[in-house]
């Protein structure tokens, strides 16, 4: 039986975005505050995902052995380091979140049956790499607060209440929505970036957060005058709003995940990926 296992690790390191072939002004324009010397630091959290058959002992791999491999090949070398100098790969391509994930894959692939590397730079920014040359995924998370009412206009209150329960009450109710937007693309061989992170954040803010925040969705967002603003429909609308702005920054929108509450969330893909969705349904061994 095939199973996916995950191992968590962490390291603290600093880095700087600076290209010597650019002037100080050009570096500042491209990388903003990240050009400041001697750099800045993060507490990185790493998830290593591996797949294989469950053996006679009930394991894909001995997780104690996996822990030692990750420590030997990655964390012992990167922890409390200056990433630009830690590995030779970062002298050619800057140590962005997505490129660090790529290079960690390269370091671990000879030793472990990898299917995914996920690296969190902080809780609102993370990258995923799956071994596809320079292609990677980058996710930012943000939030907005809004109210909505779930009701079909052609139905009575009683009929809507049968479908939507308390969510059909006429004055609506509110949520603190948590939004995760994932893009994918080819990393630049020099900057290590899929797209300009500031431009990515601005697109999400301009097209979603600012228009949606502190609104009554049914009344303030024209799209929801005719469409019931369920979490699913909100996520679909956000996906549609972001497709073109993300293309303009040189990347491709991959996924939108909307967390309505700690108990309810949904996710939609820009281009439906059957293989990826099937992978998500594989049995998963709890992290140790």
Catalytic residue among 73, 128, 130, 260: 260
Catalytic residue among 3, 135, 167, 186: 167
CA dist 80 and 78 (Å) reads 6
Q: Which two tokens stand for residue 40?
A: 């800045």
- CB 259 within 8 Å of CB 265: yes
* Catalytic residue flag (residue 34): no
What HEC string does the chain produce? Answer: CEEEEEEEEEEEEEECCCCCCCCHHHHHHHHHHHHCCCCEEEEEEEEEEEEEECCCCCCCCCHHHHHHHHHHHHHHHHCCEEHHHHCCHHHHCCCCHHHHHHHHHHHHCCCCCEEEEEEEEECCEEEEECCCCCEEEEEEEEEEEEEECCCCCCCCHHHHHHHHHHHHCCCCEEEEEEEEEEEEEECCCCCCCCCCHHHHHHHHHHHHHHHHCCEEHHHHCHHHHCCCCCHHHHHHHHHHHHHHHHHHCCCEEEEEEEEEECCEEEEEECCCCHHHHHHHCCCEECCC
Residues 6+ apart with CB under 8 A from 106: 89
Catalytic residue among 214, 225, 282, 287: 214
* Catalytic residue flag (residue 40): no
* Catalytic residue flag (residue 214): yes
* β-pair partners for 49: 6, 116
Residues belonging to the active site: 167, 214, 260
């Amino acid at each position: 039986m095939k199973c996916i296992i995950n191992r968590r690790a962490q390291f603290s390191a600093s880095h700087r975005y600076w290209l010597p072939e650019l002037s100080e002004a050009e570096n500042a324009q491209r990388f903003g505050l990240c050009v400041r010397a001697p750099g800045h630091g993060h507490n990185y959290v790493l998830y290593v995902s591996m797949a294989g058959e469950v053996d006679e002992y009930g394991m894909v791999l001995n997780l104690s052995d996996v822990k030692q491999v990750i420590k030997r090949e990655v964390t012992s070398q990167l922890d409390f380091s200056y990433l630009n100098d830690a590995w030779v790969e970062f002298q050619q391509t800057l140590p962005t979140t997505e490129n660090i994930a790529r290079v960690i894959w390269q370091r671990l692939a000879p030793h472990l049956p990898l299917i995914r590397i996920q690296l969190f730079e902080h809780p609102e920014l993370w990258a995923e790499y799956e071994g596809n040359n320079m292609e990677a995924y980058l996710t930012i998370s943000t939030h907005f607060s809004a109210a909505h009412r779930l009701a079909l206009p052609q139905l009575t209150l009683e009929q809507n209440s049968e479908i939507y329960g308390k969510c059909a009450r006429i004055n609506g109710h509110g949520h603190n929505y948590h939004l995760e937007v994932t893009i994918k693309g080819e990393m630049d061989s020099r900057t290590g970036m899929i797209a300009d992170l500031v431009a990515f954040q601005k697109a999400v803010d301009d097209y979603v957060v600012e228009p949606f925040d502190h609104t009554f969705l049914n009344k303030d967002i024209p799209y929801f005058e005719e469409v019931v603003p369920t979490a699913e429909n909100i996520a679909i609308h956000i996906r549609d709003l972001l497709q073109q702005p993300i293309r303009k920054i040189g990347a491709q929108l991959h996924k939108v995940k909307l967390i309505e509450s700690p108990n309810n969330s949904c996710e939609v893909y820009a281009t439906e990926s059957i293989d990826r969705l099937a992978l998500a349904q594989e049995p998963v061994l709890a992290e140790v």
